[in-house]
Amino acid sequence: MKRLGILTSGGDAPGMNAAIRAAVRTASAREIGMVGYIDGFAGFVAGEYLELDDRAVGNIIQRGGTFIGTSRCPEFLDAGVRAAAVHQMRAAGIGGLIVIGGDGSFRGARALEQEHGLPVAGIPGTIDNDVYGTDEAIGFHTAVNTAVLAIDHVRDTSESTGTMFFVEVMGRTSGAIALHTALAGGAAGVLVPEAHEDIAHLLDRLHTSIERGKRSHIVVVAEGDRAGGAFAVAELVGRQIDHPFRVIVLGHIQRGGRPTARDRIVASVSGALAVEGLAAGRSGFMIGMQGGRAVEVPLSDVVAGAHPEPEYGLLQLAQTLSG
């Protein structure tokens, strides 16, 4: 294999740049060229790419986002569009593809392998950390740290003024950010999409801690929580509790920023191993982190597997420790 392509797809996640850098430099050490498709599968379909050599990926390991751009590309669901893209790619002498993204992006990659025999590898990159087969998708660690920092700031004013805060974090279908943020941020409560939260139970805990004289109260709500996000939860709870409250939506702040050391390390290892696997002639795998070790997970398992469940033990612990 003389030349590979790489793209980032779906929501961006801090550490994607570090993964691209590692893939490019690992390929270069093996005298394999690399191109970066612009804006994910959209660039793949249009045949728009950048030539990436060692210097092209200098000074990006510390940068959030993805310097080659990303998008969601509905046209890619069309088999004819995929066939034309592969034809164009092969004509340019590009013999394999690395896709950094979530399971929707891996479905696209797998279709290319199944329909056209194209060698493909996946690297999980999504702040939601909801990809089957990995404990740590790139970006999750950074997003949680960003949310925890925000909560630390909010807690100062909560303690000073006695205001209760409902903080909405990202996660349309995944409570991973909410759960980890709540535990690390010492939240009084946490609501996630996967579990039915008993508002009465949350109210009880809030009443008890107010009676005990606690002044700072932070409730973390995942955007996809069944009650309808932080504004809806604040309305439900605020109506039944005689306490001043405010709502904060952290939103896309969580998607950007400097990746943590952990995300850079996971990204670097994953980028390198994706290239090594393809160079060794393997295909149809994702580099996952399992128990702290990087492993190749078949993409067929990844796309068939259920989204990982939240760690309910952590949910209970966050509640027990909320005071």
Does 78 participate in catalysis according to the annotation?
no
Return the residue nearest ligand F6P (CB atom).
11
> Residue 204, Cβ neighbours under 10 Å: how many?
11
Cα 96 to Cα 101: distance, rounded to the nearest angstrom = 16
Q: How far is the CB of 130 from ligand F6P (least distance, A)?
A: 9
Minimum CB separation of residue 279 from ligand F6P in Å reads 30
CA–CA gap between residue 43 and residue 268 (Å, rounded): 24
Q: Write down the least CB distance from residue 261 to ligand F6P, Å.
A: 21
Among 82, 141, 217, 255, binds ligand F6P (CB under 6 A): 255
Q: How far is the CB of 131 from ligand F6P (least distance, A)?
A: 11
Which range, of 17-25, 85-93, 103-111, 120-128, touches ligand F6P by CB under 6 A?
120-128
Rounded to whole angstroms, how far apart are CA atoms 26 and 13? Answer: 21
Among 39, 128, 136, 168, binds ligand F6P (CB under 6 A): 128
Least separation in angstroms between CB 211 and ligand F6P: 35
When computed from its CA atoms, the radius of gyration of the chain, rounded to whole angstroms, is: 22
Q: Given the complex with ligand F6P, which of 141 and 255 has the nearer CB atom?
A: 255
Contact (Cβ atoms closer than 8 angstroms) between residue 199 and residue 225 = no
Write the CA distances from 288 to 64, 123, 130, integer angstroms: 21, 7, 12
Under a CB-based contact definition with an 8 Å cutoff, are residues 68 and 38 in contact?
Answer: yes
Residue 11 near ligand F6P by CB under 6 A? yes
Regarding 101 and contact with ligand F6P (CB under 6 A), the answer is: no
x/- map, 271-300, ligand F6P, by CB under 6 A: ------------------------------
Which entry of 12, 103, 128, 130 is annotated as an active-site residue? Answer: 128
Q: How far is the CB of 244 from ligand F6P (least distance, A)?
A: 29
* Helix locations, 125-228, DSSP H: 140-161, 176-185, 199-211
Contact between residue 13 and residue 139 where contact means Cβ atoms under 8 Å apart: yes
Q: Nearer Cβ to ligand F6P, position 127 or 206?
A: 127
CA neighbor of 288 nearest in space, from 118, 146, 106, 147: 106
Nearer to ligand F6P, 24 or 99 (CB): 99
* CA distance linking residue 251 with residue 169, whole number of Å: 6
Among 170, 220, 272, 274, binds ligand F6P (CB under 6 A): 170
Does 185 bind ligand F6P (CB under 6 A)? Our answer is no
Between 74 and 244, name the residue whose CB sits nearer to ligand F6P.
74
Give the pair of three-digit tokens for residue 24. 């490019």
DSSP, residue by residue, 1-60: --EEEEEE-SS--TTHHHHHHHHHHHHHHTT-EEEEETTTHHHHHHT-EEEE-GGGGTT-
- Please tell me whether residue 124 binds ligand F6P under the rule CB under 6 A: no
Which residues of this chain interact with ligand F6P, rule CB under 6 A? 11, 126-128, 170-172, 223, 255
Residues marked as catalytic: 128
